[in-house]
Structure 1
Amino acid sequence: MTRPGLRDLILLEAALEVRLSPRGDRAAVRVEHPRWDDNRYCRDVVIVDVASGEQRRLTRYADCQQIRWLDDDVLAVLKSDGSTEGMQQVHVYEGLVGDGWQVTDAEHGVDAFEPFADGIVYLARKDDDPRLEAREERFGTFQHVETDPGRTAAYYLDLARLADHERSLARADKDERELLVRPVIELSALIGEPLAIQSVVTSPAGDSVYVNARPTDELTTSIRASVHRITVDADTAVAEFVRRETARKQRDHDAGIAEESDERRDQRDLSYLGTAQRLALPTRAAVEAVSPDGTGLVVRFPGRDTRVSTNAELWVAPRNALTEAATPDEARRVLREVTAGVDQTCFSPVWHDHGIDVVHAEGTRWAIQRLDPEGTAAPRRIDTGEVWCHASFHGSFHTTPSGRVSFVGGSATAYPEAWTVTEEGARRLTRLGDQVADWDLGEVRTIRWTSKDGTEVEGTLRLPPGFDPAKKHPLAFVVHGGPTWIDTEELLPMTARRYYPEAQLAAQGVIVLHPNYRGSLGRGLDFQELNVGNLGVGDLWDVESAIDHLDGLGWVDTDRVGCMGWSQGGYISAFAGLHSDRFAAVSVGAGISDWYTYAISNDIPDFTRDFLGVDLFGDRSALVASAPISGLDGANTPMLIQHGAKDQRVPLSNAMELYRGLQERGVPVELFVYPDFAHPVTRPREHHAVLHQNLAWFSHYLLGEELDLVPGLTPDGPEPAATR
């Protein structure tokens, strides 16, 4: 058996998303793999024949962010060339061959798109804003915080007319080309105000587009989010737009007008395009799915209160009842919670001919549930066999209109693959697991223990290869972020391939535990709220109790315990390092040092107020009690800190405060700042650095090896073994 090096982990190909064609005979799979020379990840599309398993790459060395089937042999892909200058545009692959037809030409790139009517609806930042340009001309550049309006627009593009338009362009001379009109209309202009559009949900009936937006680009204005229904006859609207624009261009050409003025453009009558209505929905509501016939809506919002710490349920209602509601209270009366039978947070609803499919955590696994929109039948779990869906932000699963399910998933013994569910069970579509077939990664299992307040907690444990229960092993915690997230039973999770080298530590005899501390998903909504008003303190109870549990089994050396994590996991690691004497070393990735410093400078200040239940500018005692930095005077645990310089979620000042404070107290501390990154690290070479620094840190403090955080590399010399 082979024991992989760090670069071996980064070089692995990984499935991100899979979608079946409408007929279900083909699957499009997005696969991520590194291009080391360019220091970037490629995300390419692979087409799989479901019956035969035959595969072929549709793209090569591209950065494909989104895939949508337009027909059984037509796939639309949102992609760029992967360069820093490359803009994302939508490309259509007809017949699933060739280089793809670029159908959008947005100046600042396309953010997202969805199929609609005879084309697509896409989101893009508007090319210009006459008011902002006039302001800049007079006063220079500045930002009016939480006031400057968003500049995202939603456009509809008719693909058949675009093909005709491009053929006409190819045949036209210069003067004729100036009179031709591209068949794309700005649907969001009907709303009548500039917005930061976050997503669009299109009706399968082809008559409506639902726009989820907030007033500005800042996340802090999400509390003022709005939902708009745009009703449009797409074919008629585009035809009339082209007719009017062609006539206007001809008139301007005849009058010698080279370009339409901004003032004249703003005065256009757009009512012929359709209508827009703001829905009177509850605070923090968003439309997430539409019924196949377009008459029903799935809406997400927190039914109890508007705190960000409160679970947001999924609700259904007739479309007409919601459009007729004049107030949020009236809307509440027609909304019915469809997830009431599932005691978990449900994600990614897909409404199809046989129900509404969602994904949710279930213990240390993910489950796909089929819900009854009418509420008369109990939720039904989709049987995925010996593997389970791996939920992520990339797209955890997909269901076709006829109810065929596909997903990316694996298990404690199986590397993630693309799968589809058939009558015979789950069918594997890829063979990515062949990459790790001869790797010895130890054993992954779920364990449970009782925390200090009597709460049962669980997590996933990786035992070293050849584990000997009679021997005491070093113990390393890898703590997930969120906090509303989960670590599941996975052979090789993303964090092990990008941030924390648990496979390498396990190969050296270290037991690795991912604790699903209070507030995590998977153990019910009551457990999910146990950390509200108890951040840090309760988390430490859960982690320290795990040490006691494993010590009681005789498995761990309690003098050699480490803790590491990113984001909320970094905060918990910092809290453990500064408020406990039970850790030999900790690693803090993008972690919080002080809640007040964090809250007044980040992009989600509501998080601190709602999770800690405090007035940020009143009594700050609760902020102090749960802040890592408040334990500075008693600290003696060595701390490694890793942070992105451009991080707005957890600003760099948090890392600097920890670093300077520990320096002043004479505690061993090392800080690595990644200048090109925000909250996550996103490039392979820097992932290599993060992995190496963590491996060197814990190999030193848990295993007694020499500390070599920045290995000396010579231009022609071999790469040190620890970094491979």
Structure 2
Amino acid sequence: NGTDTTSNFYTNSRLFSIDVTTRVVKPLAKNLDEDLGGFTWTKTGIYSSVWNKTKRHLYKIDPATGNYATVITAPEQVYGFSFSQDGNKIAFVGRRDDQLNEIFVSSINTPQPQQITKFTNQVADWKVAQSEVISWKSKDGATIEGVLHKPANYDPSKKYPLLVVIHGGPTGIDTPTPVPGYVYPILQWLDKGCLVLRPNYRGSAGYGEAFRSLNVKNLGVGDMWDVMSGVEYLDKKGMIDKTKMGSMGWSQGGYISAFLTTNTDAFKAISVGAGISNWMTYYVNTDIHPFTRQYLKATPWSDEAIYKKTSPMTNINKAKTPTLIQHGEYDRRVPIANAYELLQGLRDKNVPAELVVYKGFGHGINKPKERLAATWHNWQWFNKYVWGEVVEIPLVDKK
């Protein structure tokens, strides 16, 4: 209604126009059920790229009527864009599901995007990931989608080890891509012979406000339903070896992995990257205090029970899974106290656990050398506990 004073992390942002003469406020694209942003207003309309499940299309909004329509749906992903002065031509960054980001140009009135770069040629001789979008029902009946990666020589008669890689956010999203990664050597694991599942658990972008609200007062619990029901879906299809599974993620994905560490023994190994271990610890130290209050609908002092229900540390006595913890030294978003708390709890229970602190980094590992190191740490951890292999990390001799 244009008078809200609170912007919840999980609700849609909304678009309004204001007549500068009459001060009349008009909602635009009010039935477009996704979080909106990144607008460009040209002579031909207002444009924004918006998630639609695992696709990201370019939308046009009519400022006079408030109606909207998709303008560019191919390639499947449209990101940054720029218009000509008259608003009739567009240049944008985008990609198909099997591409790296490329630059395209197109007219707006009769869109026919023409690709003008060939960045994907850089990986033409790589063993890239094969991607497909799958869906399954979670414990409460919610439909969950995820991206399933298979090795290039996938054999449907075999059962494969499974690695679950969980995105952050929670309002992030995973999409098909030939080169998934960050600090996880997904291409190398696929080449080694496994399946990789990247679930778009409840709260993810692309599925509307109601879906993003499903983990309100249900963090961790509902997320675990979504991950484990995805595992069961693949198991019922005879695709995975449940004795060889691992889970990993960063930020909110690290939190969900920590929750799995203390609430199930289904995995042989887990990696917790910059993850929350205790919502009370997080709440009093983070740089975004409203996040916790909005998702848990309480402070620790008004409803201690909801903080315990959703915190990995609550069930630390049940933990059995070997857990690697990765954290930036100066992380303000998820302060490093969360890492030390989980590490101590696991060690007190004699669960194999290691903490790697990346010196000088905040919430993300954003320099090549340290990101490569973090990737090696995950390669070593999962190869040891899922495949039973000893991996020596190559170190440079400075002599």
Where does residue 158 of structure 1 map in the other structure? Answer: none
Q: Please report the RMSD computed on the Cα atoms of aligned residues, expressed in angstroms.
A: 1.7
AA in 2 matched with 1:479: I
CA distance in 2, matches of 1:664, 1:711: 31
Percentage identity across aligned positions?
A: 38
Structure 1: gaps spanning 5 or more residues? 1-280, 285-304, 323-333, 717-724
Deviation at 1:282, TM superposition (A): 4.1
Residue number in structure 2 paired with 1:674: 358
Match of residue 364, structure 1, among 50, 54, 69: 54
The residue that corresponds to 1:354 in the other structure is: 44
CA shift at 1:690, angstroms? 1.0
Q: TM-score, normalised by structure 1?
A: 0.53
Match of 2:10 in 1: 309
2:155 aligns to what SS in structure 1? Answer: coil
Contact 1:371 1:380 in 2 (8 A): yes
Higher relative contact order (CA 8 A, sep 6+): 2
Provide the C-alpha distance between the structure 2 equivalents of 1:581 and 1:336, rounded to a whole number of angstroms: 53
CA gap of 1:355–1:619, structure 2 versus 1, over 3 A, is same
CA distance in 2, matches of 1:337, 1:699: 53
CA–CA separation in structure 2 for the residues paired with 1:492 and 1:335: 44
Amino acid at match of 1:646: Y
Separation (CA, whole Å) in 2 of partners of 1:678 and 1:535: 23
Task: Give ranges in structure 2 of 5+ residues lacking alignment.
Answer: none
Residue matched to 2:315 = 631
* Deviation (angstroms), 1:449: 0.5
Separation in 2 of the partners of 1:562 and 1:364? 24
Given that 1:344 and 1:361 are in contact with CA atoms closer than 8 Å, whether structure 2 keeps it comes out as yes
Measured after TM superposition, the shift of residue 545 of structure 1 is 0.2
Question: In the alignment, what sits opposite 2:244?
Answer: 560
Trace 1:436-515 onto structure 2 (pairs within 5 A). 436-493=123-180, 496=181, 498-515=182-199
> Which letter does structure 2 place at the counterpart of 1:362?
N
Matched, 1:520 2:204: yes
Specify which of 587, 590, 593 is matched with residue 277 of structure 2: 593
Question: Where does residue 703 of structure 1 map in the other structure?
Answer: 387
Give the secondary structure class of the aligned counterpart of 2:165: strand
Structure 1 residue 319 corresponds to structure 2 residue 9: no
Q: Could you say what secondary structure the match of 1:461 adopts?
A: strand
Q: Which amino acid aligns with 2:26?
A: R
CA contact (8 A) 2:203 2:211 kept: yes
Task: Indicate conservation of the 8 Å contact 1:365/1:489, yes or no.
Answer: no
Q: Could you tell me which residue of structure 1 aligns to residue 93 of structure 2?
A: 408
SS at the partner of 1:348?
Answer: coil
SS where residue 319 of structure 1 aligns?
Answer: coil
Task: Report SS of the residue matched to 1:577.
Answer: helix
**Aligned match of 2:77:** 388
Q: Which of 220, 236, 257 is matched with 1:536 structurally?
A: 220
Deviations 1:15-54 (A, max 9, x none): xxxxxxxxxxxxxxxxxxxxxxxxxxxxxxxxxxxxxxxx
Moved more, 411-420 or 598-607: 411-420
CA contact (8 A) 2:59 2:72 kept: no
Per-residue deviation, 1:638: 0.8
Residue 383 of structure 2 is aligned to residue 714 of structure 1? no
* Distance in structure 2 (CA, Å) of the matches to 1:313 and 1:424: 27
Provide Cα deviations, 1:123-150, integer angstroms capped at 9, x if missing partner: xxxxxxxxxxxxxxxxxxxxxxxxxxxx
User: Is residue 220–residue 310 contact of structure 2 (8 Å, CA) maintained in 1?
Assistant: yes
Displacement of 1:468 in angstroms is 0.8
Post-superposition offset of 1:424? 6.2
Asked whether the equivalents of residues 147 and 175 of structure 2 are also in contact (C-alpha less than 8 Å), the reply is yes
C-alpha change, 1:471 and 1:402, in structure 2 (3 Å) is: same
Label 1:414 to 1:307 Cα distance change in 2 as closer, same or farther (>3 A): closer
After superposition, what is the alpha-carbon deviation per residue over 1:221-264, rounded to whole angstroms, capped at 9, x for unaligned? xxxxxxxxxxxxxxxxxxxxxxxxxxxxxxxxxxxxxxxxxxxx
Q: State the Cα distance separating 1:623 from its structure 2 match.
A: 0.4
- Cα distance in structure 1, aligned partners of 2:254 and 2:106: 37
Superposition deviation, residue 406 in structure 1: 2.3
CA deviations over 1:467-509 (Å, ceiling 9, x no partner) = 111111011111111111211122224xx1x311111111111
State the shift of 1:578 in Å.
Answer: 1.2
Q: How does 1:71-90 map to 2 (within 5 A)?
A: none
CA distance in 2, matches of 1:425, 1:535: 43
**Contact kept? 1:481, 1:568, Cα under 8 Å:** yes
Q: Could you list the per-position Cα deviations for residues 155-207 of structure 1 after superposition, in whole angstroms to 9, with x for gaps in the alignment?
A: xxxxxxxxxxxxxxxxxxxxxxxxxxxxxxxxxxxxxxxxxxxxxxxxxxxxx
Structure 2 residue matching 1:425: 3-state secondary structure: coil
Please name the residue that 1:242 is paired with: none
Secondary structure, aligned partner of 2:276: coil
Determine if contact 2:56/2:76 at 8 Å carries over to the other structure. no
CA distance in 1, matches of 2:163, 2:257: 11
Q: Secondary structure at the match of 1:513?
A: strand
In 1, the alpha carbon distance for the partners of 2:133 and 2:368 equals 30
Q: Which residue of structure 2 lines up, in the alignment, with residue 131 of structure 1? A: none
**Number of aligned residues:** 395
Alignment partner of 2:72: what SS? coil
* 2: CA distance, partners of 1:487 / 1:546: 15
2:290 aligned with 1:606, yes or no? yes
In the TM superposition, residue 531 of structure 1 has moved relative to its aligned partner by 0.9
SS in 2 for 1:484: coil
